[in-house]
Structures are given as C-alpha cells and as structure tokens.
Structure 1
Amino acid sequence: MATLAQPAGPFALGTFSLPDGEPFPGLLAKGRVLDLGRALAWAPSGMRGVLERWEEALPVLHTLANEDALEWRPADELRVHAPVEPRQVFQSGANYRQHVIDLEVAHRAPDDPRTVEEARAEIAEIMDRRAAEDLPYVFLGLPSAITGPYDVVVLPSWAKQPDWELELAAVIARPAHRVSVEEALDHVAGYTIANDLTDRATVFRRDMPAIGTDWLRSKNAPGFTPLGPWIVPAESIGDPGDLRVTLKLNGETMQDESTKDMIFGVARMVSYISQTARLLPGDLVLTGSPAGNGMHWGRLLRDGDVMEGSITGLGVQRTRCVGEVS
C-alpha cells in the first residue's frame, strides 16, 4: 500500500487487493475503489475482461463513478498491482529525438573529426528525416517481467549495468489488425506508466556481435517492467503527444521530457505494429524512453535506490531496488 496520487479525469482503472486477498479489477474515483467484478453485471474476473467490452463498459463506468450508494473501499487501504495482465507487450526503441541524439554523440568514434555541435546538428537532421520517411523500431517484451507500481524491483546479480527507462504506455481495447494511423487511437482504451528497466551490459551479445541486440537477456528479468498505477481513459488525457515524463532517482530528477519529443507518436506506433501483429485487448504499446537514462548520467541502479516515475495525469509509481544476493 502507498500514498496514491489521483489521476486526471473522473475515474481510472486498476487492479487491487486487500492485504491478504485476491486481486480484483477496480474503479478508482474520489480516492475510493469499487470492485468491478461485483459491480458489473457480466462480472469480469480481471482487467482484461473490462477492456474486452470497453465500448459497452465505458458509459457504465462513468455512471458508477458517481454512485455513492455502492460498496466503495478507501484506496489507501488496498494493495495496488499492475493494472492489467497483457498477453503481448510491444516495446519501442530509439523513439525520442533528444535521447537518440545524446546517445549518438556519446558513442562517437574517438577519431570522429566533428565537433560536438556539428555532430548534434547532423544527427538532428537524420532524426527529422527518420520521422518523415522511416518506420518505428519495435520489439517484444515478456508479460512475466511486469510488476506492480509500488513493488520492490530485484536487480539480478548478473545485471552489471541496470538502468531506468520511464515510458508512456498505451493500453489496447479493441483488437487492431492493419489499421491506419487515422484509426489507430480508436483502439486505445487509455494510458499508463511503464518503467522499462534495461541491463546495458547485456544489450549486445559479446559472443555474437553480428547478431545485434539481445532484448530477452537485457530487459525481461522478473520485475523489470514496473507498470501503473492506473489505466486512465484516453478521453481524460487528451493529446498523448503532449505529456510530461519525469523520473526521479532518490529525489533527484533524471528524466524530464515531453512526449512532444517522440519521433513516432502513439497513433503511428499502433498502426505500424498492427500491420504485422494483431493487437488484443489489454496489450501494451510502450512508446520509448526520453533522454536522461542512467548511462547519460554515468549513474546506474544499485541496491537501495528509489525510483519515482510520473506522467501528466497518470499518477505516480514508486519502486525500490534491492540487489539480489548471489
């Protein structure tokens, strides 16, 4: 249980439990929670059940949020879990302009004849062309890496360079396959916060450098994706391309960037993924991380660190890191 920041709009959705009880899908409104498994006539067993009937559920949720004569529980008496258990997790890399520029400049060859300013200007032009002409870079994550927004994150003993990556995540409602950019946001129920932890030391395979990135190893340890606290309906957020993404490490701001800096917005991302895959209710689309990761600061995660991540209107997640005892 934690002190809970209220989201934008009249209500949000989450997954809750009593301290010794089973998780249930809940409606959060006015600092209190309603068990949707009991309140809805079709009694969903989990949040995916709500999302699978999103168009039918949404007007009912608005009505329930204003009904005081129901069995509400104070939110601060409940444990908050990851808001949804997705079947698929789609993750985006290199999707923030400033972040990519910073990385490219930091990893210039020692004999690069350009000044820092020249390198930044050239890479910025490449990013602009990429936004206009290229495609997003998307890979798959594992649902088993997801943990709750206030849970402890165990840093595996083998992870030598664990890093943070706070991201806006879109939550799918209507199944989406081969949808256009113009149609894409109609398939999004709402948004939540994801921290896509990455062990930088294992991103690239040293034994097989030609094979490229190893996202299984570097990103998918249990608990490496703190999620939530809430799913905030898209109608309460407005423009997902104009939100502030902020991560604090032990109270010090490390990431603080607008989603305006995304190279590919949510609609383009969802549409692109749907050209190959079939997006299902409850699936997550992580949209990439802005500048300010640990590699940028030369300060990576270690035992005892506390991360606090927030995105405009979506609440706050707080997770404490614990080093695994090998």
Structure 2
Amino acid sequence: MKLLRFGAPGQERPGLLDGEGRVRDLSAHVSDIGPDMLDPTSLGRLAALDPQDLPLVDGQPQQDLRLGACVAGVGKFLAIGLNYACHAAETGMEAPAEPVIFTKWTSSITGPDDSLHLPHGSTAADWEVELGVVIGTTAKNIAESEAMEHVAGFCVVNDLSERDWQLRRGGTWDKGKGHDGFGPIGPWLVTRDEIADPGNLRLWLDLDGERMQDGSTQSMIFGVARLVAECSRYGTLHPGDIITTGTPAGVGMGMKPPRYLQAGQEMRLGIEGLGSQCQRVIAG
C-alpha cells in the first residue's frame, strides 16, 4: 500500500493511492496515518479494503491536490550521518566505524512539495535525498535479525541542512538540521511488503534540472536492519518514529567551491518505488 495524507496544512486527512494514481479517502476507517495504525494488524485491515469502494478525492496528487507529511504524530525523527562512504569522502570526513546518530526536530517535518523558506540569516542551506524508515511496532534492544519486523514502511526524506550552523556554531549537528521545513517526508508511506530490498533502491536529486545526486542504497555502510537495531539500543523506538538513513555523494558542501541553496531554486528528488518530492526555495 501507498498511504498518504492530503489537504491543507493542519487539516490533512488519511488516504491511499489507488492503482490509477488517484487518492482514495480513508477517513471512514482511520482518523489519520499515525502511530496507532502502523502495526501489522492495523495495516492488514487497510490492505483488505478494496480501493474502488473508497471515496475518490478530487484532484491529482502533487499537482492540484496537496499532500502533507505521510506520517502524523512522529515522536522521534532520527537521522544517520555519513552512511555512504562517497558522501563521507566528499565532506572530508572518515567513514564511521559505527552509525552516527543525531536528531532532527519533529517541527521540521513538512509535506513533500511544500516550499522551503530559508531560515533568517542562512547562508549555507544544503540538500540530502535519503531513504526514510517508518517504525511500526515498539522496539527496544532488538537484534538485527528481527529489526525488519518492527518496520511499517519507507518514504522519501530530504534531510535539509544549514551547514554553517551544523558544523561551525559549536555543539552537535542539531543546530543545522531541525529548522522549520527541513524535513519533507513523503509523498507516501510505502508499506514494507511492497519493497523487496530497501538495500537496493536508486535515489536521486536535481537542482534546477541539474542532476546533483544519483546513487543507490546499495552503497550504504550500514543497512536498514542494522540501523533500526542500533537506534533501539540507545532509546526505545515507538510506532511512527522515523529514521532517515543517510545520503550519497553530491551535496552542495562537497563541491568545489561549495554550492548552497538560493531563493528561486527548485529541488526535485525521489527514490525508486517510493515517489518523488519537489520544493521551491523561498527567501527567509
């Protein structure tokens, strides 16, 4: 299934994408796409529905029908740094011996096609296309071999970053990672059964039509199961939590000279089987 949330900001309703690429309204069956319906039993009930029996929503998704973040009520938005050796190399950092974990503020979460308003004073905003993992059931100190049982599905994430504040303002990376709008997720949550191998997905990002990132999750240093198990070691994972798993080479800070986002630019990004996003950059 491809689950989504549609409507104006703050008024999103739950839906799913049917086989013709149209949105069907799930409001009669669930209140939202959130933590209380991401377990296998709840997802199974939704999967048993015939999309043709659900109300058809007017408009074409991501054209004249806005989509919100594909998951509501996210408790933790965890991120993995330097998880592609090619990205670590372009930043001048060593590939890590174990996963680098940091957090993005949940207030950064936004819809997949919402405009990015640069923070006031930002001079080094950067892009990062990433595979997002959505937790479906509670996980604490789990083994890597059982980690995938706790995953509800996957989504596209743009792990936007303000590099100056991330790296040169002291403290942890969080200062440059959690600004409003710095966490577009979606367009949809694709349930785990639809993705045969999350470790073999192509991901890409274009800036004003120029291909900046073009990689594969095959290049991840630590795979999805390892990351879920590792995160569960340091804190309990709850349904609706999101882990975004790192980015391949091609970010702005790795270029010579560096290239950062400017007002008026447009990012398009996507992952094989998970859909695409588009964000227009607006001055802060």
TM-score with structure 2 setting the length: 0.92
Check if 1:233 corresponds to 2:221.
no
Matched, 1:294 2:252: yes
More helix by share: 1
Deviation at 1:50, TM superposition (A): 2.0
The residue number in structure 1 matching 2:230 is: 272
**Which residue in 2 is equivalent to 1:248?**
206
Please say if 1:28 is aligned against 2:17. Answer: yes
Q: How far apart, in 2, do the equivalents of 1:279 and 1:225 lie?
A: 19
Query: For residues 10 and 117 of structure 2, what CA distance do their matches in structure 1 show?
Result: 24
Tell me which amino acid in the other structure corresponds to 1:230.
W
* Unaligned segments of structure 2, at least 5 residues: none
Asked whether the equivalents of residues 27 and 61 of structure 1 are also in contact (C-alpha less than 8 Å), the reply is no
Rg (Cα) greater in structure? 1
Identity of aligned residues (%): 39
* RMSD of equivalent CA atoms: 1.9
1:47 aligns with 2:5: no
Residue 116 of structure 1 aligns with which residue? Answer: none
The one of 195, 201, 208 equivalent to 2:164 is 201
Structure 1 Cα separation of the partners of residues 223 and 59 of structure 2: 33
**Distance between the aligned counterparts of 2:229 and 2:9, measured in 1?**
41
Equivalence for 2:83? 95
The answer for unaligned runs of 5 or more in structure 1 is 1-10, 108-122
Counterparts of 1:309 and 1:277, CA distance in 2 = 31
1:154 equivalenced with 2:117 (yes/no):
yes
* Partner residue of 2:271 out of 311, 321, 326: 311
Q: Number of aligned residue pairs: give it.
A: 277
Query: Alpha-carbon deviations, 1:272-303, whole Å to 9, x = none?
Result: 01012111111100101110001123211000
Counterpart-to-counterpart distance in 2, 1:63 and 1:219: 38
Q: Distance in 1 between matches of 2:267 and 2:203?
A: 13
Q: Distance in 2 between matches of 1:20 and 1:165?
A: 24
Counterpart position of 1:214: 172
Q: Retained in 1: the 8 A contact 2:33–2:70?
A: no
Amino acid at match of 1:199: E
Contact 1:44 1:50 in 2 (8 A): no
Distance 1:272 1:311 in 2: 24
Residue 139 (structure 1) shift: 1.0
Q: 1:193 to 1:20 in 2, by over 3 A?
A: closer
- The reply on whether 1:15 has 2:20 as its aligned counterpart is no
| Cα distance, 1:320 vs structure 2 | 0.3
What is the distance in 1 between the residues matched to 2:119 and 2:51?
A: 46
Secondary structure of the equivalent of 1:192?
strand
